[in-house]
Chains A and B, each alone.
Chain A
Amino acid sequence: MIMESKNRMIDVRDVYFTYPHNNENESVVALDGVSLHIEKGEFVGIIGHNGSGKSTLSKLLNAIIFPTQGDVIVSGLNTKDHENLWTIRQTAGMVFQNPDNQLVATIVEEDVAFGPENLGVPPQEIRERVDRALAVVEMQAYAHQKPHQLSGGQKQRIAIAGILAMEPECIIFDEPTAMLDPSGRREVMETIKRLNRDKDMTVIHITHFMEEIVAADRIIVLDKGKVVMEGEPRTIFRQVKRLKEIGLDVPQMTELAYELRIEGLKIADDVLSIEEMVNALCQ
């Protein structure tokens, strides 16, 4: 029990969240009894149909909104206690979908400095953190550029650097690749994976692109505000029919294997990548 809580990054305990009113002035239950946990160093993918509550969940994790009922514990701190607010926001950083709407400053390095400045870090240390963060996302060369002159993928990497400079333990990505072209998406995914692998960063990655999370440690599937599936990518994606029922895709190769099996070909149902597909077909 003690061992467990020590390695626990995030604990969501039976959380409900209701938006008081939407455009039609009705209340919306966005999360309907969600319990989950994230361990330190994990790479967890979260998928779900539009409106399933993914963004709501992510905002609960860094104390931008608070549960209507239940508890969210980040690194041992309950988001409900007001004095924990800033520690939690610093511990669990957040990268959003639209790269344009999360950059604050007119110069790249000033933007990266924004977070540590808010935390009251001394100027000399901010300088060091900014340089380090820009190096991690490989954007040092752009330190003095204006954000609007960068590509989408580059802007998103700057947003990541801005979070890194706050030295969080965990980063929540809410569809960071949704507005990017394929090359930008690749850049950003490589950066995220590298953070998890080399820097031991806990990553929670919300996405509609299944290929991005085939290598995740765990996948959580949300539907209508509830956790409906949870497990390793292989176990999740082999349930093609069930995923399709809740309006989700599977990785291309898993889909292909599924179709081939329907056609009567004997092939494993948990093929995730092109490589695995080649191996499965050449057997």
Chain B
Amino acid sequence: MLKDVTIGQYYPTGSVIHKLDPRTKILFTTAFVVMLFFLNNLWGYLATFVILVTITLLSKIPVGYIIRGIKGLVLIIMLTVVLNLFMTPGTTVATVGPLTVTLEGLKVATYMALRLIFLVIGTSIMTLTTSPIDLTDGMEWCMRFVPFVRRYAHELAMMMSIALRFIPTLMEETERIMKAQKARGANFETGNIISRAKNLIPILIPLFISAFRRADELATAMEARCYRGGENRTRMKQLTFEFRDGTSLVLMVMMIVGLYLTTMIQIPLIFPV
């Protein structure tokens, strides 16, 4: 059950996309996500779709694997769609009981859904093609340019990598505790939401206690290995910005500009502008 989560996982295939410098990928993904919220017509989303398909093909990651990443978010997407569908005032196109669907609602809901789906796909392509180490190293580098965050760049990156290191360990532990509680007759599958939530308490409490103990021991072990923050620290692997990063950066800038230009298209696609 817990093993289905694909967000934040690394899927090595050795493709060009994998070989890119993590900083290149982070910069592009950030620009891409920001751009998604500027798009104001379906041409833009069509272009985004083409870009994502191209990158996915280049990355050699099975499409099914990427789609699986969206599955976990179906509920959130549905919720946004439904809310936007019924809550947006405008010209009525249909009525369902007391609720009315407006043309504007239809439009906003479609855009929101596409935005969320593309956002998830875009970011999961980044995490699927970048090893956690590269990702945190890249983020550490990028954070150096963000005011306020700059001072904590190393600490944040370290926190992130420790979190990534311990997610599998804690998941295994959760499953072990669940099995142990089931063996004692606990029931996690039936009952209403409240009783299910209550049943989670005997899992969460031992999990938290153990997580704190782990954190304490890890901190001691890190100190024993001379950890003293980011100052004067060196890295075994240095990030290297290569020729292919230069070329892809140029391509990426072109894509982002292209996406921006779609916002100026006046010809309607399906929805009237």
Contacts and interface: CB of A to CB of B under 8 A. Distances in A.
B226 A86 contact: yes
A126 B133 contact: no
Contacts of A121: 234
A126 B236 contact: yes
A200 B47 CA distance: 65
B217 A98 contact: yes
A195 B112 CA distance: 61
B161 interface: yes
Interface magnitude class on chain A: 35 or more
B227 A102 contact: no
A105 B165 contact: yes
A106 B236 contact: no
A237 to B, nearest CB: 31
Contact of B236 (A89, A102, A127): A127
Given A90-B226, A106-B165, A123 B218 contact: no
B172 A118 contact: no
Given A118-B233, A147-B165, A148-B169, A104 B226 contact: no
Of the listed residues A119, A121, A126, A130, the one surrounded by the most CB atoms of chain B closer than 10 A to its CB is A119
Interface in A147-171: 147-148, 162-163, 166
Contacts of B236: 109-110, 113, 116-117, 123, 126-127, 130
B235 A104 contact: no
- The majority secondary structure among interface residues of chain A is helix
B235 A163 contact: no
Interface in A92-125: 93-94, 96, 98, 100-107, 109-110, 113-123
A114 B221 CA distance: 11
B228 interface: yes
B225 A123 contact: no
B132 A106 contact: yes
Contacts of B223: 64, 89
A109 B217 CA distance: 21
B183 interface: no
Given A64-B224, A118-B228, A101 B214 contact: yes
A120 B67 CA distance: 42
A118 B221 CA distance: 13
B269 interface: no
B190 interface: no
Contacts of A127: 236
Interface in B220-243: 220-228, 232-238
A102 B237 contact: no
A162 B131 CA distance: 21
Contacts of B224: 62, 64, 89, 93-94, 96
Contacts of A90: 226
Contact of A106 (B164, B172, B227, B228): B164
Interface in B145-188: 161-162, 164-165, 168-169, 172
A89 B132 CA distance: 28
Nearest to B10: A106
Nearest to B225: A115
Contacts of A62: 224
Given A64-B223, A106-B165, A146-B168, A123 B234 contact: yes
B8 to A, nearest CB: 11
B226 A118 contact: yes
Contacts of B220: 59, 64, 96
A114 B238 contact: no
Contacts of A110: 133, 236-237
Nearest to A107: B133
B248 to A, nearest CB: 24
Of the listed residues A90, A148, A163, the one surrounded by the most CB atoms of chain B closer than 10 A to its CB is A148
Contacts of B169: 100, 148
B228 A86 contact: yes
Nearest to A98: B217
B170 to A, nearest CB: 10
Contact of B234 (A96, A107, A126): A126
Given A107-B133, A123-B234, A126-B234, A162 B172 contact: no
A96 B225 contact: no
Contact of A148 (B172, B218, B234, B235): B172
Give the 4 A-B residue pairs with the shortest CB-CB distance, closest first: A102-B221, A101-B217, A113-B236, A126-B236
25 contacts: A86-B226, A93-B225, A94-B224, A98-B217, A101-B217, A101-B218, A102-B218, A103-B165, A104-B161, A104-B165, A105-B165, A106-B132, A106-B161, A110-B236, A110-B237, A114-B222, A114-B225, A114-B227, A117-B236, A118-B226, A118-B227, A121-B234, A126-B235, A148-B169, A148-B172
Interface of B: 131-133, 161-162, 164-165, 168-169, 172, 213-214, 217-218, 220-228, 232-238
Given A96-B221, A104-B162, A105-B161, 6 more contacts: A64-B220, A101-B217, A103-B165, A106-B165, A117-B233, A121-B234
